Amino acid sequence: MDRLVKLDVKEVNIVFNRNEICSTTFKVTNLMHTMAVAVSLTTTNPSVLSITPPFYVLPPLSTSSFALCLSQPSDYPPLATPLDSIIVKSTMLPTGKANLEALQKLFSKPGPKIFKDAVIPITFVGPQVVEFLLSPSRKIDSAYVLSKAIKACDESELCLLLRSAVKCGNCYFASTLIEAGADVNKCDFTNRSLMSLAIQSGKSDMLDLLIDCGYVVDNSEDRLLHEAAAMNRLDLMETLCLGYLDIDVNLADLHGRTALHVAAIYGHVEVLQFLVSLGSDPDAADQNGWTPLHCASIAGHVEAAEFLLTCSVYVKYALTKEKQTAFALAVEKGHLDLYDMLQLGDALHRAARIGDVHEIKRCIAEGAKVNGKDQNGWTPLHRAAFKGQTESVKVLLNHGANVDVIDNSGYTPLHRAVEAGHVPVALALIGHGAKANMKGLKGVVPLHLDSFKNHLSLVTPSCEEKERA
């Protein structure tokens, strides 16, 4: 005979709850038609799991219930590898009667009349088991245990667990939960959406998973690009933009700030470049009139400010509701490196152009870069030379202006002075070491310079004349 009894289950599942005496029941049936059977039920881990009653006499063809329970409450499920099991032994009992002591003695030693009817695995199931498997403190990594634990969870529990898995960045758990019935579009019932949690995890694979599983962006709630921009995660932003081709790069948050504002606040230059390339507006103002340049300037982000200035000609003059420019905010916080690009550079170029020597000195003293270039590559010295402002030229040279600096066309200030016919300026530049034979980018001396050299020779003493003098 193969066995004397059978169990009503092939495995025993216990729903685990923290700090509770968790238990479950199962049934054992006597298969003998005319003979009583004594059974012994033990576990492979009796210090943790116990069965009540441990011994029992089953009349012919009868069925009885047994309880499997934790010996004491626990903070975490006592998972084991391999799984703990119930060991079922049986023997025929001709008399049909035996007390506990007799049964204990009967099963204490193996013998030919003692049958091992079954070894039934014990699994802990339920949401708290899944949570434990997600935690760093887990001591078991079993796909089988996870699949069993998930089956005991209802829809709302699956959604809560999916949020935890997404937040942890565990793609395997998340995909398993989704396959078990967790709906990615029914799990956003707190102040952070599921995709927002995926971004927080920093795992682009998690974003891909949610996109592939049909996650729908809610523009009334989700500010996904804002969050990725704050984290300086260009890869996550690229994933979002590829997954949602219609994503709005100019979507504003409750304060009227776009993702570009956020990137500017943190000084994330590559993110700024990416957003602008997709059409994000560098002139967009929030509810207080702040542009991204205002945000970068008050934080002192030099590279971010430099980039934003290349995106818009007029953004540096934009005013907040408090009538402050980006320059005013930089001054307020003492960000000296921003003074030139936000205002003083323009002021110095203007002063050089009109010959305002006092303003030139003030701008340089306050932080203007004497060799700073405009969009055409002109320095203040180019402007002063082209406009014939001799005193301005001298002041700029005395404050470190590069006499042979070239503009975007390859022309020096001397070239520009000659082009405009300003002899005194040319003399001042040559007297300061300017090279009269420098060529432009095309390898030619600018128009008028050859003929102008003859004029210079008339007003500039030769070496022999200097010796005679």
Per-residue pLDDT, 80:
84
Whether 281 is covered by a domain: the verdict is no
Q: Tell whether the model's pLDDT for residue 459 goes beyond 50.
A: no
Whether 373 is covered by a domain: the verdict is yes
Per-residue pLDDT, 140:
67
Q: Tell whether the model's pLDDT for residue 363 goes beyond 50.
A: yes
Domain boundary among 71, 91, 125: 125
Confidence of residue 463 (pLDDT cuts 50, 70, 90): very low
Above pLDDT 90, what percent of the chain?
Answer: 71
Whether 190 is covered by a domain: the verdict is no
Question: Tell me, what CATH number does 84's domain have?
Answer: 2.60.40.10
Per-residue pLDDT, 221:
82
Rounded mean pLDDT of 134-139? 76
Structure tokens at 267: 């000084």
Per-residue pLDDT, 56:
94
Rounded mean pLDDT of 311-326? 91
Whether 103 is covered by a domain: the verdict is yes
Return all residues near 328 (Cβ < 8 A) that are at least 6 apart: none
Q: Any idea which residue has 């004349």 for tokens?
A: 465
Domain boundary among 125, 157, 188: 125
Per-residue pLDDT, 439:
64
Whether 440 is covered by a domain: the verdict is yes
Q: How many CA atoms lie within 13 A of 111 on its CB side?
A: 10
Decide if 23 contacts 67 (C-beta within 8 A).
Answer: yes
Question: Tell me, what CATH number does 403's domain have?
Answer: 1.25.40.20
Domain boundary among 125, 145, 179: 125
pTM attached to this predicted model: 0.74
Greatest mean pLDDT range, 99-103, 142-146, 163-167, 218-222: 163-167
**Domain boundaries, position 423:** 340-468
Domain total of the chain:
2
Whether 18 is covered by a domain: the verdict is yes
Decide if 185 contacts 216 (C-beta within 8 A).
Answer: yes
pLDDT tens sequence across 38-55 = 999 999 999 999 999 999
Above pLDDT 70, what percent of the chain?
Answer: 91
Whether 49 is covered by a domain: the verdict is yes
Whether 296 is covered by a domain: the verdict is no
pLDDT tens sequence across 74-118 = 998 998 888 899 999 999 988 878 888 888 888 988 877 888 889
pLDDT tens sequence across 256-309 = 999 999 999 999 999 999 999 999 999 999 999 999 999 999 999 999 999 999
